[in-house]
A and B are shown apart, each in its own frame.
Chain A
Amino acid sequence: MAIPLKYNIRNLFVRKITTGLTVLGIGLVVAVFLSVMSLSEGLARVFKASGSTRNVLVLRQNSQSEVQSGISRNQVPLILTLPGIEKDIDGNPLASSELVVMLNLKKIDGGASNVTLRGISEKSPLLRPQFKLIEGRMFSPGLSEVIVSRSISERFKNCRLGDTIHFGVYKWKVVGIFDAGGTAPDSEIWTDVEGAMNSFKRPSYSSVLVRTTDKASRDQFIAALAGDPRLALEGKVERVYYDEQTSTAAPIKFFGIFIGVIMAIGAGFGAMNTMYAAVSTRTKEIAMLRVLGFSRLAILTSFIVEALCLALLGGLLGCLLGILTVELALSGVTGTTNFTTFSEVVFAFRLTPKILLTGIILSLFIGLFGGILPATQAAFTKIILALRQIE
């Protein structure tokens, strides 16, 4: 027969202060873990959602990113003759030659960061379905005009609609604000590619983005590109290209798990303390239960359950604190450096149900770890000695 759950729960509330302190401790550990994980998730989310599986990004061989790549003008027509490219309604290939430049811009709340300026071609918005112009208008080629993502306009100086951004000797007018649904362009400023190449005196493009008709033709295109001896270029599926940049989030995730584990063990020791204290004050009580006929197993389980309940309370508190922190203090977008492109990547903290679940599981582990030894001690109390005990 099992000991009723009520017994354990009542016991938790008898010693309010101790229970409270332990629950708070576990709660904080879980909250910290959740915060760091939601940072990592938010960052990774930008890369996972960006890019389409039907687009192929053409770069120079061995380039890790567009910044390191270069494609000369005369190579572009050769690329466009390769098989697999989708055509638009006029029968022209759906492709966009682009230039990527890093601009060092000042942030609104101090410091500066590299922001990606992307020179695009006419077809570019067609290749990026999440792109949406929300304010103002599209830039007119050749007039030193740019459009800025909403996130960038909120984080950097002089990037709002109507402002003028100065780089070098050139002034660029912001004529539109766009939104890219949390994907890579949300960290970019767009202008026309010819104007950009002119201003920055770049003789070649950084990349060519190509839309293929389906998976088979996509693979056909990539193979044809790799096999062409005249072009030292390689094609990457756009989605894969962005996926690989999650290396930026890797240190943070590692850090979060590393800290989470160490702190969990620390909190586990704290929980163990509480449980040991609980067991030692209730020695006579436990002996009574044994006399009444409850088995050792029942006692063991009972105390483990008590520890788990304690930890679960902490876990729930931690989730609550985590949600409050992310919704209140960490809402809105923030940015850090994308290590692959060495420029700003804008993201938002994301606390998903999956992360919350991980937090709860962490708290249960703490409970199990903290409860097992005291529970074992309780289960193996010698009845006679315990009943004889005065204190």
Chain B
Amino acid sequence: MKLLPLILKNVFRKKARAILTIGSIILPLLVICLMGTFLRLLDRPDPAETRGMFRIVTRHKVGLASPLPMSYAEKIQQLDGAFAVTKFNWFGGKYIDNSARNFFARFAVEPETLVQVFDDATITQGSATDWFNDRAGSLVGEDLMKKFGWRIGDQIVLIGDIYPVTIQLTIRAVYQLPDGDSDALFFNREYLEEALPSFQGKVGTIWTKCRDGAAATRLSDEIDQMFENSPYPTKTETEKAFQMGFVSMLGNVKLLITSLGTIVVFVILLIAANTMALSARERIREIALLRTLGFSRVTILMLTLGESLMLALFGGILGLGLFVVGFRPLKASLINTPLSGFATAMTLFPEVLLLGLAITIFVGLFSGLVPAIQASMRPITEGLRHIG
């Protein structure tokens, strides 16, 4: 495009203005990338769709705080289509203190069946056998290891609250889930049963790996029907539905963030449009001169739109680049704030970068639209007559 050098020159005609506008695009774009990351985290991919992991979760119908009897797990295991069954109990407790930074999920589980149900996880450090053989051992997620700088063999002390005991665990193995968060700690329920006899026989949630999708749907209903009239009625749902349940408890967070994001985009648009309006007004006479030289209306339109697009792209690419480069430091700094939980799960999603690019192009085109049309449509004589 022969016009490109001209467009570039025009963009940086007033260096300060260009830099300021680019700066005012970069910052809100970072905010948009952050919000986009958060929204993307809320929308977890369905392990059934992405990895063929058909897992269902059974809990007491009334709520998570009510336990189920252990015998239910055995009964579920005998159903046709139930490939493997494991038991979870939320331990809770306190690690060092109750700050947001030190909060993570801690479960008492049955190690051997856990790895059967979650066979899509890989052990990245240590070994599962080590964990099976150490009753006071624990399986820790890769994200947690990185966050706290733990190593295999480290001791973790948890001060219980729901279960009033203090337990000491040794890290024996580290796991990584493909596209889930690897940020939980698991230990052997037998350890808790010995420490607290009243804990025996109770289960918080039962996770079942089903043979296939059809079995998952059928079993969800079958299990609930089986226990419907017992003293502990159940509610069974897919893994994804279970997790989305927690998200829906947050309320209209998605709506809030999306609305905020839209307004932020609008603000960027306004600032960029302001710049374009300013520079267009200064060049009215100049553009009229270009028209007398023979440049067509369309060319003028292209010039102006090209300018706004280029300006936006400079801001967009620098902003996205800054986001990519500054991702790790940003994540590290957020871990010590109330947004710690979000920070731990933060990942660099390509979709978010694509969204940023799309928004940049959108802003580039629309901020320059009105000035471009005005400039191209203005009669030559009016332009020449204009007093800057």
Contacts and interface: CB of A to CB of B under 8 A. Distances in A.
Asked if A pairs with B, the answer is: yes
Interface of A: 17-18, 21-22, 24-25, 28-29, 31-32, 35-36, 39, 60-64, 67-69, 101-104, 107, 110-114, 167-169, 200-201, 232, 247, 250-251, 253-255, 259, 262-263, 265-270, 272-274, 276-277, 281, 334-337, 342, 344, 391
B270 A24 contact: yes
Interface stretch (B106-114, B209-217, B248-256, B297-305): B248-256
B16 A276 contact: yes
B65 A112 contact: no
A17 to B, nearest CB: 6
A262 B28 contact: yes
A101 B62 contact: yes
B162 A68 contact: yes
Contacts of A28: 263, 266-267, 270
Nearest to B278: A277
A110 B255 CA distance: 14
A168 B339 contact: no
B65 A254 contact: no
Contacts of B338: 247, 250-251, 253-254
B324 interface: no
A340 B260 CA distance: 26
A263 B251 contact: no
Contact of B24 (A254, A266, A334): A266
Interface in B260-275: 260, 263-264, 266-268, 270-271, 273-275
Please give me the 8 A-B residue pairs with the lowest Cβ-Cβ distance, nearest first: A111-B248, A269-B24, A270-B271, A250-B338, A336-B251, A68-B161, A21-B274, A266-B27
Contact of A67 (B24, B30, B65, B100): B65
A353 to B, nearest CB: 23
A103 B62 contact: yes
Contacts of A265: 27
Given A273-B20, A344-B249, A114 B277 contact: no
B92 A68 contact: yes
A29 B338 CA distance: 23
Contacts of B245: 104, 111-112
Interface in B102-139: none
A337 B250 contact: yes
A232 B277 CA distance: 71
A263 B16 CA distance: 20
B31 A104 contact: no
Contact of A270 (B24, B31, B264): B24
Contact of B277 (A18, A25, A112, A168): A18
Contact of A167 (B17, B61, B253, B337): B61
A168 B27 contact: no
Interface of B: 14, 16-17, 20-21, 23-25, 27-28, 30-31, 60-66, 92, 94, 98, 100, 159-162, 164, 229, 231-233, 235, 245, 248-253, 256, 260, 263-264, 266-268, 270-271, 273-275, 277-278, 337-339, 342, 388
A107 B245 CA distance: 11
Contacts, number: 174
Give the dominant DSSP class at A's interface: helix
B277 A17 contact: yes
B274 A247 contact: no
Given A114-B64, A200-B66, A25 B30 contact: no
Contacts of A36: 260
Contacts of B229: 169
Contacts of A114: 63-65, 249
Nearest to A259: B31
A205 B92 CA distance: 19
B249 A267 contact: no
Given A68-B92, A262-B28, A276-B16, A334 B63 contact: no
B161 A273 contact: no
Contacts of B30: 262
| Most chain A Cβ neighbours within 10 Å, of B235, B274, B342 | B274
Contacts of B66: 101, 168, 200
B64 A104 contact: yes
Contact of B61 (A168, A273, A277, A344): A168
Contacts of A259: 31, 260, 264
Given A28-B267, A169-B231, 11 more contacts: A21-B270, A25-B271, A39-B256, A113-B248, A114-B65, A167-B61, A253-B338, A262-B30, A270-B275, A273-B271, A342-B64
A102 B63 contact: yes
B42 to A, nearest CB: 13
Contacts of A337: 249-251
B263 A276 contact: no
Contacts of A31: 263
B207 to A, nearest CB: 18
9 contacts: A17-B277, A64-B94, A67-B162, A114-B63, A169-B231, A251-B339, A263-B31, A269-B271, A274-B274
A22 B275 CA distance: 10
Given A28-B263, A259-B31, A334 B251 contact: yes
B100 A251 contact: yes
A232 B164 CA distance: 10
Contacts of A250: 100, 338
A169 B63 contact: no
Given A68-B162, A269-B20, A102 B64 contact: yes
B363 to A, nearest CB: 12
Given A251-B100, A266-B28, A269-B21, A103 B63 contact: yes
A335 B271 contact: no
Contacts of A272: 20
A265 B24 CA distance: 7
B251 A335 contact: yes
Nearest to A113: B249
Given A25-B270, A111-B248, A263 B62 contact: no
Contacts of B231: 168-169, 201
A102 B90 CA distance: 15
A344 B250 CA distance: 9
A272 B21 CA distance: 9
Nearest to B59: A104
A273 B17 contact: yes
Contacts of A270: 20-21, 24, 270-271, 274-275
B293 to A, nearest CB: 20
Contacts of B164: 60-62, 232
Contacts of B25: 266
Contacts of A22: 270, 274
A61 B27 CA distance: 47
Contact of B28 (A68, A102, A263): A263
